[in-house]
C-alpha cells in the first residue's frame, strides 16, 4: 500500500512546482509460527530471520510454547510462538512471501493439519477483515486455539480482534480449547 503526500516547494525549499512523495504504508501484522518436525526451535529461529529479510521488521516475539498437536493428534508436539511484524506488503503479497519461506524451510502440504517443519499463519493484519479464496483475516480459528492465543496474548493482550470486538486477553479467557500450552524455559 502507498500513502501519497503533496508537498509544496515552500515546504521543501525547492523549485516552483509541486513534488509528489511516495511513502510505503507500514502495517502491523501478527503471525503465528509453529513446528513439530526435526529441530523445532531451529526452524522457528530460521523462519524469523527469513521473515525479517523478506517481509518486514519483527517488532515483538513471544516466548516459545509447547503444545500437543491440534486437529490431527497422532503426531509430535508443536513448538509455537507469535510475532509482530511491520510490513509494507499487502495481505496477499505477504501470504505469498510466507508460503515461499515455508517452502524454503521444507514445508510440504500433504496432510491437512499434518506434521510440518514450519507453519506460519497470518492472525491479524492491522484492523483488516478479509474473506478471500486464498486468505481469511483475522485467522478464522484463532479464537478457538490456545496454542495461538497464549503466545499472542503475551505480546498483544489489549489488541482487539476486528471482527469479534474482543481483546486477545478476552478471547483467551473464553477459549473453548483446553489443550495445555506450556512455556519453554531456556537456560
Domain of 176, in residue numbers: 26-183
Quick check: is 60 in a domain?
yes
pLDDT tens-digit readout, 8-36: 455 545 444 444 555 568 999 999 999 98
Domain assignment present for residue 43? The answer is yes
Q: Is 162 a domain residue? A: yes
Q: How far apart are CA 96 and CA 70, in angstroms?
A: 25
| Tens-place pLDDT, residues 125-142 | 999 999 999 999 999 999
Identify whether 109 is a catalytic site residue: no
Is 10 a known active-site residue? no
Among the options 119, 145, 146, 177, which is catalytic? 119
Catalytic, out of 40, 97, 121, 146: 121
Does residue 117 belong to any structural domain of this protein? yes
- 121 given a catalytic annotation: yes
Q: Is residue 92 part of a domain?
A: yes
Average of pLDDT values for 107-131? Answer: 80
Which CATH number characterizes residue 161's domain? 3.30.70.560
Residue at 169 is within a domain: yes
12 located within any domain: no
- Residue 119 is among the residues annotated as catalytic for this protein: yes
Residue 6: inside a domain: no
Structural domains in the chain (count): 1
pLDDT of residue 76: 80
Amino acid at each position: 500500500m502507498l500513502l501519497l503526500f503533496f508537498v509544496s516547494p515552500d515546504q521543501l525549499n525547492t523549485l516552483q512546482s509541486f513534488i509528489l512523495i511516495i511513502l510505503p504504508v507500514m502495517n502491523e501484522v501478527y503471525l503465528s509460527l509453529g513446528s513439530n518436525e526435526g529441530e523445532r526451535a531451529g526452524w522457528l529461529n530460521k523462519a524469523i530471520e527469513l521473515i525479517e529479510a523478506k517481509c518486514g521488521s519483527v517488532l515483538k516475539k513471544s516466548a516459545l510454547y509447547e503444545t500437543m498437536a491440534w486437529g490431527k493428534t497422532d503426531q509430535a508436539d508443536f513448538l509455537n510462538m507469535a510475532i509482530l511484524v511491520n510490513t509494507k506488503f499487502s495481505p496477499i503479497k505477504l501470504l505469498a512471501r510466507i508460503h515461499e519461506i515455508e517452502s524454503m524451510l521444507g514445508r510440504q502440504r500433504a496432510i491437512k493439519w499434518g506434521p510440518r517443519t514450519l507453519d506460519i499463519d497470518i492472525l491479524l493484519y492491522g484492523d483488516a477483515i478479509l474473506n478471500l479464496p486464498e486468505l481469511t483475516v483475522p485467522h478464522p480459528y484463532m479464537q478457538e486455539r490456545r496454542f495461538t492465543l497464549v503466545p499472542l496474548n503475551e505480546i498483544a493482550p489489549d489488541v482487539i480482534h476486528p471482527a469479534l470486538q474482543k481483546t486477545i486477553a478476552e478471547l483467551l479467557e473464553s477459549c473453548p480449547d483446553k489443550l495445555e500450552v506450556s512455556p519453554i524455559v531456556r537456560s
